Chain A
Amino acid sequence: MSQIKEAILETNRQGHKAFIPYIMAGDGGLETLKPTILKLQELGVTAIEVGIPFTDPVADGPTIEEAGIRALAKGTTLRKVLETLSTFADGITIPLVAMTYLNPVLAYGIEAFAKDAYNAGIRGVIIPDMPLEESELVHPSLQAAGIDLVQLVSLTSTPERIEKLTKASEGFIYAVTVNGITGARSSFEGNLEDHFKTIQSYTDTPVLAGFGISTPEHVKQFGSFTSGVIVGSKIVDCLTKGDWDTIENLVKASKAVPLA
C-alpha cells in the first residue's frame, strides 16, 4: 500500500490527525533543507510537502510565491533539491511529498524524475496545474516508480467530478478549503463539513484539508471532520522568522494527546 496512505492511517489509528507541513525547498538556502526536515520529523509530523520553486506559480499566493522567488534567487533547481534530499534520505522515516508545477517535471524528464524522486525519499507528487485529464503525461512513470499522484479537489467540484478525482487520487485526497490560491486565511466560507464528508463518502483514501489553515483552532476545526491537515503558508512564514514555537503549537493541535 502507499506509504503516505499508511502513514496517515497509522496516525489516525493512534488517535491523532495527520499533520503535513509544506516547506519551500531552497528558501534560506538548500543547506537548510536537511535541518528543517529533521526538526519537523522530530516534532512528529506525518509527512512533509516539499515545494519546488518555479517562475510562474499560478496556484500560489504571495507567501509561497515570494518564498519561491527567494529560493530561485539562491539558484535552487529541482535537480539540486532531489540531490540534496538524497544525501540524507536514509535518515528520514516519514514520507515526503513533492509539490511542483508541471513544467519543471517535464523539463527534467518524467522517467528520470520518478527515479530520482524516489531515491530522494519522495513518495508522492502534487501538480496543481496538471488536471486529471492530462495525468497520463506523468502517471505511468510515477506508478512504476512507486510514487503516488495526489489529486486536488476544489470547493466547486461537482459530485461527478469529486467522484472521479477521489477514485483517481493516490496516497490521500488534497481537499482545498478555499476558492483560489494558497495563503493564510482568518476565516473560511460555507458549510465545509458537508463538503468534506461528501468527498470522504466516495473513497477510503484519507481526505486531508489544505490551503489557508494557519492557527491551532483551524487545525482542530478541520481535523474534526477529516483525516488531517496540510499547513503551508503559515509554516513558510514561521520558518523565515525562525519561529518554531508556533510550528510546534500547530503540530500539537493535531494530536489528541500532547507530545511528551
Chain B
Amino acid sequence: MSKTLIQNGYYGNYGGSFVPDEVQKVLEKIAEEFAKVKDDPSFNEELNYYLKEYAGRETPLFFAKNLTEKLGGAKIYLKREDLNHTGSHKLNNVLGQILLAKRMGAKRIIAETGAGQHGVATATAAAMFGMECTIYMGAKDTKRQALNVFRMELLGAKVVAVDKGNGLLKEAVDEAFLDLVKNHDNTFYLLGSAVGPTPYPEIVEHFQSVISRESRAQHLEKEGKLPTAVVAAVGGGSNAAGAFSHYINDENVRLIGVEPAGAATLTKGSPGVLHGFKSYVLQDEEGNLLETNSIAAGLDYPGVGPLHAYLHETGRGEYVTVTNEEVLEAFQVLSRTEGIIPALESSHAVAHTLKLAPTLSPEDTIIVNISGRGDKDVQQVFELLKNQ
C-alpha cells in the first residue's frame, strides 16, 4: 500500500493543495474526518457491508484462457470491476466518500463526471442514502454519453451540462469547484478520480485500493506468487491507483498505466498546477491546458493524479500510450475472445496487453484491470465502425 508515499498531502513532488483559502478550510476538515475514519473498524465494517451486499464485491479475478492462448505469452487475468454494481470501479470510491460525507453531516452531494460512470455511481449512492445530488458534466460529454445522463436523472440526480470551453471533464471539474466554494456549508464534493487538491487523491486511492487488496489475495491463491505486471488505463488515474496500490511496495511487480495517445499526460505533459494540485499536465509553453482527444470520455483529461506523476518520475510505474484504433480493436477482440465487452476506457488496458503478453513467457502473469463494462459504449462503437 502506498500510504507511506503520502507526506503532507504530497506524493514526492506531486499533490498538494492550490486553492483559495476558503476552499482550503473545507479540505482541511475533510482531511481531518478522513483520517479519523479510514482505519476505524466501525466505519470499515459499514463500508464493507455496502461493498459486499450492495456493490456485489468481491469481483472475480478471471483467467482469460482464450485470450492467453491466442496471444501465446503470459497468462492473462482480468480483474472484473465491470461486474461491480453500476458497471465500473467508480462505486468503490463513491461508497467510501458518501459514508464520509454522511459522517460529516452533509445534506447535498455534488460531483463531476466525464464518461458518466462516476456520475451514475454517485447518483446511485445518493439515492440509496437519501441525499440531494447534483452532477456536473461537460456539454460535449452529455451528448456522447446521453444515456448516462438519463440514468443519473432516473436515479434522482440533477445533471448540469457545462457548456464552456471544450465542454469536457475539466470544465465539469471547474464548475464543481465553483459550486463547492459557494456552498461548502452543506455540500460535499464527491470527487471521482485520483485528482484534485489533497486530501482527494489519497482518499480516492484508499477507497479504490479494494481492487488490488482483492486481486493480490486472489492471484496468490491461484498462482502462489505475485503477478509479473498489472495493467490499467489512466485518465485521472482512479482505477489504476486502486489496481496498483497493494503492489507498489512489491518492486518486482511491474505497474503499467495506459493513456490515450490523444491525452497522454505523462508521456507528453510536464509538471504544472491545475484544478488545485501539482502534477503532470498537458500544457502549451504558456501554461495553458491543452485540448485532449480520446475515444473514451473517461480518459479525456489533460491532467493525471499525483500518485501517477510520482510513480512515473521515480520509474516505479511505466506509462505507455495506445491509439484510438488500437482501442477499438481491443474492444472487439475481448468481446469475441472472452465474451466480455469492456468499457472503452478499460479497452486501453486491453490494447496494451495485446502487445505486452506475447513478449512475456508463459510463466509470467498479467492482471488487466477491466475497470468497467462497455454497454455504455456500444452505440458509439457502432457509429465508429459503421463509418470505417
Interface string of A59-95 (1 = CB under 8 A from B): 1010001000100100001110000000000000000
Interface string of A153-187 (1 = CB under 8 A from B): 11111100100010000000000000111000000
Which one of B18, B184, B286 lies within 8 Å of A107 (CB-CB)?
B286
B286–A154 contact, CB under 8 A? Answer: no
**Complex Cα–Cα for A129 and B287 (A):** 14
B235: A residues at CB distance < 8 A: none
**Complex Cα–Cα for A129 and B16 (A):** 12
B287–A152 contact, CB under 8 A? Answer: no
B20: A residues at CB distance < 8 A: 58-59, 128-129, 131, 152, 154
Interface string of B281-308 (1 = CB under 8 A from A): 1010111110000000000000000000
A59: B residues at CB distance < 8 A: 20, 181
Q: Chain B interface residue count: which class?
A: 20 to 34
A69–B19 contact, CB under 8 A? Answer: no
Q: With A157-B21, A157-B22 known to touch, is A180 a contact of B286 (CB < 8 Å)?
A: no
Tell me if A145 counts as interface (CB < 8 A to partner B).
Answer: no
B21: A residues at CB distance < 8 A: 131, 152-154, 156-157, 161, 165
B274–A103 contact, CB under 8 A? Answer: yes
Interface string of A210-243 (1 = CB under 8 A from B): 0000000000000000000000000000000000
Q: With A134-B18, A179-B181 known to touch, is A56 a contact of B170 (CB < 8 Å)?
A: yes
Which one of B276, B283, B286 lies within 8 Å of A129 (CB-CB)?
B276
Tell me if A196 counts as interface (CB < 8 A to partner B).
Answer: no
Q: With A56-B275, A102-B273 known to touch, is A65 a contact of B164 (CB < 8 Å)?
A: yes
Q: How many A-B Cβ pairs are below 8 Å? A: 100
B22–A106 contact, CB under 8 A? Answer: no
**Complex Cα–Cα for A79 and B286 (A):** 8
Specify the chain A residue showing the minimal Cβ separation from B171: A56
B289–A180 contact, CB under 8 A? Answer: no
B16: A residues at CB distance < 8 A: 134
Specify the chain A residue showing the minimal Cβ separation from B180: A180
B22–A107 contact, CB under 8 A? Answer: no
**Complex Cα–Cα for A153 and B174 (A):** 21
**Complex Cα–Cα for A155 and B23 (A):** 11
Shortest Cβ gap from A196 to chain B (Å) = 16
Tell me if B378 counts as interface (CB < 8 A to partner A).
Answer: no
**Complex Cα–Cα for A78 and B274 (A):** 17
A77–B164 contact, CB under 8 A? Answer: no
Shortest Cβ gap from A45 to chain B (Å) = 25
Tell me if A108 counts as interface (CB < 8 A to partner B).
Answer: yes
A106–B24 contact, CB under 8 A? Answer: no
A102–B182 contact, CB under 8 A? Answer: no
B272–A179 contact, CB under 8 A? Answer: no
Which one of A72, A129, A155, A181 lies within 8 Å of B178 (CB-CB)?
A181
Shortest Cβ gap from B160 to chain A (Å) = 14
Most A-side CB within 10 Å, residue of B170, B178, B273:
B273
A179–B22 contact, CB under 8 A? Answer: yes
Q: With A56-B289, A58-B177 known to touch, is A131 a contact of B182 (CB < 8 Å)?
A: no
Shortest Cβ gap from B165 to chain A (Å) = 7
Which one of B177, B182, B272 lies within 8 Å of A106 (CB-CB)?
B272
Contacts of B311-362 to chain A: CB distance below 8 A: none
Specify the chain B residue showing the minimal Cβ separation from A178: B182
Interface string of B11-49 (1 = CB under 8 A from A): 000001111111011000000000000000000000000
Shortest Cβ gap from A119 to chain B (Å) = 19
Specify the chain B residue showing the minimal Cβ separation from A128: B20
Tell me if A104 counts as interface (CB < 8 A to partner B).
Answer: yes
Contacts of A111-143 to chain B: CB distance below 8 A: 128-131, 133-134
B287–A131 contact, CB under 8 A? Answer: no
Specify the chain A residue showing the minimal Cβ separation from B17: A131
A61: B residues at CB distance < 8 A: 178
B19–A129 contact, CB under 8 A? Answer: yes
B273: A residues at CB distance < 8 A: 101-103, 106, 129-130
Tell me if A105 counts as interface (CB < 8 A to partner B).
Answer: yes
Shortest Cβ gap from B12 to chain A (Å) = 16
Tell me if A191 counts as interface (CB < 8 A to partner B).
Answer: no
A103: B residues at CB distance < 8 A: 272-274, 281, 283, 287-289
Q: With A180-B178, A181-B178, A181-B182 known to touch, is A104 a contact of B18 (CB < 8 Å)?
A: no
A156–B22 contact, CB under 8 A? Answer: yes
A128: B residues at CB distance < 8 A: 20
Shortest Cβ gap from A39 to chain B (Å) = 28
**Complex Cα–Cα for A150 and B210 (A):** 44
**Complex Cα–Cα for A133 and B234 (A):** 30
B274–A56 contact, CB under 8 A? Answer: yes
Which one of B19, B25, B181, B274 lies within 8 Å of A180 (CB-CB)?
B181
**Complex Cα–Cα for A180 and B18 (A):** 15
Tell me if A54 counts as interface (CB < 8 A to partner B).
Answer: yes
B276: A residues at CB distance < 8 A: 58, 129
B165: A residues at CB distance < 8 A: 55, 69
Shortest Cβ gap from A122 to chain B (Å) = 17
**Complex Cα–Cα for A54 and B283 (A):** 11
Q: With A56-B275, A58-B174, A58-B178 known to touch, is A78 a contact of B286 (CB < 8 Å)?
A: yes
- The residues of B with any CB-CB pair to A shorter than 8 Å are 16-22, 24-25, 164-165, 170, 174, 177-178, 181-182, 184, 271-276, 281, 283, 285-289
Given contacts A58-B276, A154-B21, A180-B22, 5 further A-B contacts (CB under 8 A): A54-B287, A69-B164, A77-B288, A103-B273, A180-B178
8 closest A-B pairs by beta carbon, nearest first, are A107-B287, A104-B287, A154-B22, A180-B182, A103-B287, A77-B286, A55-B289, A154-B21
* 10 A–B contacts, CB within 8 A, in A order: A56-B174, A59-B20, A77-B288, A78-B287, A103-B274, A103-B281, A106-B272, A131-B17, A152-B20, A154-B21
